[in-house]
């Protein structure tokens, strides 16, 4: 703890929304957000889609239009904490392209805090980060999904929940294009042979971890491949889900 204080004093945190340096503070919000930015986080509230977890307008609906339309078969259910608004978009953009790896800690803590009971109930064998291609890893120096998975796993330990990260289960063979710019057919084509599932022996249930849930295609594709390889249940956890109201 003392070490933490000294570290924070010498290297103060930056606000995960506006990137300004923060004054000294130690609870979860003060440590990661400035006063002006606190309201910029829009936590997902009920009613939500019973499949992907996105916010929906009508509580009598089971699914969002995206899930209704596709009837995804790959994954069971999704856990997201935030609506993907412009502020979160900017924050995640800095994580990926401006080296702000440290923001991820906040998001990992929030996911663990909000979903700890669900994760305990599911009791998965592993948290599995969605892999990025080697070329992107070289540019970025880290896979944000992997850093997030470790942040969640570490935070869960504080609640006495132990779920390890498995970073060797899926390998990304293809450096896929940005999918939300493509039509559904090209998207499917792009994801063909993009991943390889490695040894799944003794693994029954996993929670995939990624930064954003956008079209759902990547998460669904990986889930399908994991199931073909023999895994029973696949869930996913993300920082933000793109609205589909
Ligand atoms: Zn701020
Ligand atoms: Zn949905």
Q: Indicate whether 89 and 104 sit together in one domain.
A: yes
Q: Indicate whether 216 and 164 sit together in one domain.
A: yes
Q: What's the gap between Cα 189 and its chain centre?
A: 24
Residue 26: which domain range?
1-40
The answer to whether 63 and 49 have CB atoms below 8 angstroms apart is yes
Question: What residues contact residue 180 under an 8 Å CB cut-off, 6+ apart?
Answer: 214, 215
Rounded to whole angstroms, how far apart are CA atoms 93 and 88? Answer: 8
Rounded to whole angstroms, how far apart are CA atoms 108 and 52? Answer: 19
Q: What is the DSSP letter of 34?
A: -
Phi/psi at 48 (5° precision)? -130, 160
Four-residue CA torsion sign, 42, 43, 44, 46: negative
Measured in Å, residue 33 CA sits from the centre of ligand 1 at: 5
Confidence category of residue 5, pLDDT binned at 50, 70, 90: low
Residues constituting the chain: 245
Q: Please report the pLDDT score of residue 26 as a whole number.
A: 61
Instruction: Scan for tokens 């991943």, then name that residue.
Output: 195
Rounded to whole angstroms, how far apart are CA atoms 135 and 137? Answer: 5
Q: Indicate whether 146 and 25 sit together in one domain.
A: no
Above 90 in pLDDT, residue 7? Answer: no
Q: Please report the pLDDT score of residue 24 as a whole number.
A: 72
Confidence category of residue 151, pLDDT binned at 50, 70, 90: very high
User: What's the number of domains the chain is made of?
Assistant: 2
Q: Indicate whether 81 and 154 sit together in one domain.
A: yes
Measured in Å, residue 102 CA sits from the centre of ligand 1 at: 15
Q: Indicate whether 154 and 115 sit together in one domain.
A: yes
The answer to whether 56 and 82 have CB atoms below 8 angstroms apart is no
Measured in Å, residue 123 CA sits from the centre of ligand 2 at: 23
Q: Domain with 185 in it: what CATH number?
A: 3.40.50
Q: Indicate whether 110 and 216 sit together in one domain.
A: yes
Q: Indicate whether 72 and 13 sit together in one domain.
A: no
Confidence category of residue 62, pLDDT binned at 50, 70, 90: very high
Q: Please report the pLDDT score of residue 102 as a whole number.
A: 94
Q: Indicate whether 72 and 8 sit together in one domain.
A: no
Q: Please report the pLDDT score of residue 183 as a whole number.
A: 85
Above 90 in pLDDT, residue 73? Answer: no
Measured in Å, residue 141 CA sits from the centre of ligand 2 at: 32
Rounded to whole angstroms, how far apart are CA atoms 19 and 97? Answer: 14
Measured in Å, residue 95 CA sits from the centre of ligand 1 at: 15
pTM to 2 decimal places? 0.93
Ligand nearest to the CA of 78: 2
Cross-strand pairs, 171: 196
Rounded to whole angstroms, how far apart are CA atoms 66 and 69? Answer: 5
pLDDT tens-digit series, residues 9-57: 666 789 999 999 988 766 666 789 998 998 999 999 999 999 999 999 9
Question: What residues contact residue 231 under an 8 Å CB cut-off, 6+ apart?
Answer: 200, 203, 204, 205, 206
The share of the chain scoring above pLDDT 70, in percent, equals 93
Q: Please report the pLDDT score of residue 206 as a whole number.
A: 98
Q: Indicate whether 7 and 127 sit together in one domain.
A: no
Q: Indicate whether 172 and 213 sit together in one domain.
A: yes
Q: Indicate whether 116 and 136 sit together in one domain.
A: yes
pLDDT tens-digit series, residues 183-231: 888 888 888 889 999 988 999 999 999 999 998 999 999 999 999 999 9
Rounded to whole angstroms, how far apart are CA atoms 23 and 6? Answer: 13
The structure tokens listed for 58 are 């009508």
Confidence category of residue 125, pLDDT binned at 50, 70, 90: very high
72 vs 19, more confident: 19
163 vs 66, more confident: 163
59 vs 127, more confident: 127
Instruction: Scan for tokens 């971890």, then name that residue.
Output: 209
Q: Please report the pLDDT score of residue 203 as a whole number.
A: 96
Q: Indicate whether 142 and 180 sit together in one domain.
A: yes
Question: What residues contact residue 144 under an 8 Å CB cut-off, 6+ apart?
Answer: 92, 95, 96, 101, 104, 132, 211
Q: Please report the pLDDT score of residue 174 as a whole number.
A: 87
Measured in Å, residue 67 CA sits from the centre of ligand 2 at: 4
Residues with CB under 5 A from ligand 1 (ion): 15, 17-18, 34, 37
Q: Please report the pLDDT score of residue 237 as a whole number.
A: 98
Q: Please report the pLDDT score of residue 4 as a whole number.
A: 64
Rounded to whole angstroms, how far apart are CA atoms 241 and 82? Answer: 6
């Amino acid at each position: 703890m003392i070490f933490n204080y000294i570290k924070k004093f010498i290297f103060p945190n930056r606000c995960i929304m506006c990137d300004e340096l923060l004054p000294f503070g130690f609870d979860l919000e003060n440590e990661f957000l400035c006063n002006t930015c606190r309201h910029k986080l829009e936590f997902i509230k009920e009613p939500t889609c019973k499949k992907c977890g996105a916010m929906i307008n009508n509580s009598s609906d089971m699914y969002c239009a995206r899930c209704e339309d596709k009837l995804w078969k790959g994954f069971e259910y999704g856990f997201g904490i935030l609506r993907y608004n412009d502020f979160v978009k900017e924050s995640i953009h800095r994580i990926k392209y401006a080296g702000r790896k440290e923001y991820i800690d906040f998001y990992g803590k929030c996911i663990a805090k909000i979903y700890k009971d669900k994760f305990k109930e599911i009791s998965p064998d592993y948290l599995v980060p969605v892999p990025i291609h080697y070329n992107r890893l070289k540019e970025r120096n880290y896979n944000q999904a992997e850093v997030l998975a470790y942040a969640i796993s570490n935070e869960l330990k504080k609640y006495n929940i132990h779920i390890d990260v498995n970073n060797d289960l899926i390998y990304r063979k293809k450096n896929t294009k940005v999918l939300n710019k493509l039509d559904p057919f090209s998207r499917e084509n792009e994801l063909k042979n993009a991943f390889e599932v490695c040894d799944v022996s003794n693994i029954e249930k996993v929670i995939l971890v990624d930064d954003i849930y956008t079209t759902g295609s990547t998460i669904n594709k990986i889930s399908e491949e994991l199931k073909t390889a023999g895994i029973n249940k696949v869930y996913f956890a993300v920082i933000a889900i793109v609205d589909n109201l």
